[in-house]
């Protein structure tokens, strides 16, 4: 019975990992990142990686992560308690079995397309309804469609943009592109970025339709693309 209890609790841990990973994915997080971060939080290892910022920046993901951290600590206590209980054979194997069944039913339910779509919409609505605009990651705020795109384009040596104004390159009335700002060393140019003459070494940050941005700035332009998660 002791070994059955241990096996059952391992199944519970795996089920919690799967459910939590699904919830992270439904908030827009990449599948591989979601699973790794869930395991990291439960074990208390690896959560200081750069990817953890994707969790900390999102209010709903922070709540899930808080549960996982507490569940991980609780699981450690259960394991220690189990070792002691093995000696007395005072185990609740039957009750644990019920928990395993319930968790697996939850996983099957969460993977149903209908439930997934409902949950994704609910999580999105919940974030918009209960959290301030500034609490959400920039990707969740700006990248609402598959064609949305944020990029940084450095003005390199011999760049065709050098010496020109962005108003000569981008037509705000026709092009679905917004210049967020121009970074020039330590200076950030926002207010007059369209009328400012671009210099070599500047970094241009733009947001808008992906195809339009590629058309204006070119496919071969070296830049840092910010994609929608997932």
Domain parsing of the chain, residue ranges? 1-134, 143-217
pLDDT classification of 185: cutoffs 50, 70, 90: confident
Specify the pLDDT at position 225. Answer: 47
Strands (E), the chain: 148-154, 177-184, 187-189, 203-209, 224-226
Specify the pLDDT at position 220. Answer: 45
**Are the C-beta atoms of 218 and 161 separated by less than 8 Å?**
no
pLDDT one-digit tens code per residue, 96-152: 778 788 888 888 888 888 888 888 888 777 766 665 555 566 666 666 677 788 888
Longest CA–CA span in the chain (Å) reads: 81
Strand pairing category for 148-154 and 187-189: unpaired
pLDDT classification of 26: cutoffs 50, 70, 90: confident
pLDDT classification of 176: cutoffs 50, 70, 90: confident
User: Percent of the chain scored above 70 by pLDDT?
Assistant: 79
**Are the C-beta atoms of 213 and 180 separated by less than 8 Å?**
no
Token pair recorded at residue 103: 């968790």
**The most confident of 15-24, 41-50, 121-130, by mean pLDDT:** 15-24
In whole angstroms, what is the distance from residue 75 CA to residue 136 CA? 31
Q: Which fold has domain 143-217?
A: Alpha-Beta Plaits (3.30.70)
**Are the C-beta atoms of 119 and 26 separated by less than 8 Å?**
yes
Q: How many CB atoms lie within 10 A of CB 133?
A: 7
pLDDT classification of 50: cutoffs 50, 70, 90: low
Residues 6+ apart with CB under 8 A from 100: 8, 11, 12, 15
In whole angstroms, what is the distance from residue 62 CA to residue 60 CA? 5
Whether 203 shows a pLDDT value over 50: the answer reads yes
Whether 226 shows a pLDDT value over 50: the answer reads no
pLDDT classification of 94: cutoffs 50, 70, 90: confident
**Are the C-beta atoms of 169 and 216 separated by less than 8 Å?**
yes
């Amino acid at each position: 019975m002791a070994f059955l209890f241990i096996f059952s609790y391992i199944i519970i841990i795996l089920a919690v990992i799967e459910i939590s990973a699904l919830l992270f994915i439904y908030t827009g997080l990449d599948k591989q990142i979601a699973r790794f971060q869930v395991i990291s939080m439960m074990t208390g290892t690896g959560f200081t990686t750069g990817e953890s910022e994707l969790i900390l920046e999102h209010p709903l993901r922070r709540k899930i992560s808080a549960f996982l951290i507490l569940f991980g600590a609780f699981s450690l206590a259960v394991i220690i308690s189990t070792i002691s209980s093995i000696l007395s054979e005072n185990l609740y194997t039957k009750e644990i079995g019920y928990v395993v069944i319930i968790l697996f039913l939850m996983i099957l339910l969460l993977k149903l397309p209908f439930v997934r779509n409902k949950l994704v919409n609910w999580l999105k609505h919940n974030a918009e309804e209960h959290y301030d605009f500034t609490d959400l990651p920039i990707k969740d705020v700006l990248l609402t469609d598959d064609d949305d795109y944020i990029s940084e384009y450095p003005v390199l040596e011999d760049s065709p943009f050098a010496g020109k104004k962005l108003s000569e390159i981008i037509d705000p009335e026709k092009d679905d592109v917004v210049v967020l700002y121009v970074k020039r060393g330590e200076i950030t140019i926002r207010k007059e970025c369209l009328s400012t003459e671009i210099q070599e070494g500047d970094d241009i940050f733009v947001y808008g339709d992906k195809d339009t941005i590629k058309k204006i700035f070119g496919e071969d332009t070296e830049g840092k693309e910010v994609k929608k998660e997932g």
